[in-house]
Structure 1
Amino acid sequence: MAKKISNLEDLGGFVFSTNENFEFDSNQENEETLAPKHQRLEAHLDKKNRGGKVATIIRGFQGNEEDLKTLGKILKTKCGVGGAVKDNEIIIQGNFRDKVIQILQSEGYNVKRVGG
């Protein structure tokens, strides 16, 4: 029995068209990165779906993915830990929220501490 498709996400993000004149419009490629002083970042602590381990999450970055990855690499290097950049968030392993806030503020970003 075939799987029922209820929306386009079930197709894996692909859209099939019979229109011969269809042109794919990609607006996300040239997204401009705001200057650090105009960014409003949020620093969260999270341990959901991580086996009880704490992670520091930075949200709110506005810009292209390359700049986000560069910022994530800077934070991981200065904290001396691992992490990832995905879903427009920077994830740093461990409770480094205060250190991350200091690093981001020294880089010129406006950072808000969110949560307890």
Structure 2
Amino acid sequence: MSDKVNDLNDLHKLVPGSEPPKDEPDSGKEPDRATQMVTLDIRLETKGRKGKGMTVISGFHHHKQHLEKIAKELKATCGAGGTVKRDAIEIQGDHREKVAQHLEKKGFKTKVIKR
């Protein structure tokens, strides 16, 4: 065993007859079918927050890791804190328009609910 394994992609060298992993297609450019079919609701909630507003984006059908990635992008775009709860992303403050613009650029259909 003279070959040194540098990362997990080199593990195929240790098992005789195994093939190297195939490259995955670039998934960041084109929105997937699930993204195009879902309409996300963007609303402002103040219940239970002592009058403070929070932008809530609901209607996602993604894994929690993907939601956390989207939440991180939204928090950076809005310059605010936030979190992922269940199948929704919460951003502190009223950022409905910024959030809608950002998600539409990413290929999501959005619906801003104004009361």
Q: Percent identity?
A: 38
TM-score (norm 2): 0.68
For the Cα contact (< 8 Å) 1:104–1:111, is it kept in 2?
Answer: yes
For the Cα contact (< 8 Å) 1:40–1:60, is it kept in 2?
Answer: yes
Aligned residues: 84
Question: Counterparts in 2 of 1:53-68, with a 5 A limit?
Answer: 53-68=52-67
**Aligned-CA RMSD value:** 1.4
TM-score (norm 1): 0.68
Question: Counterparts in 2 of 1:57-96, with a 5 A limit?
Answer: 57-96=56-95
1:20 is matched with: none
* Residue 34 (structure 1) shift: 5.5
2:15 is matched with: none
Listed as ranges, the gaps of 5+ residues in structure 2 are 1-31
* Residue 114 (structure 1) shift: 1.5
* Residue 35 (structure 1) shift: 3.5
| Distance in 2 (alpha carbons) for counterparts of 1:107 and 1:101 | 10
SS state of the match for residue 49, structure 1?
coil
Listed as ranges, the gaps of 5+ residues in structure 1 are 1-32
| Distance in 2 (alpha carbons) for counterparts of 1:88 and 1:103 | 18
Any idea what the Cα deviations from partners look like across 1:17-59, whole Å, max 9, x if unmatched?
A: xxxxxxxxxxxxxxxx864222211001000011110010000
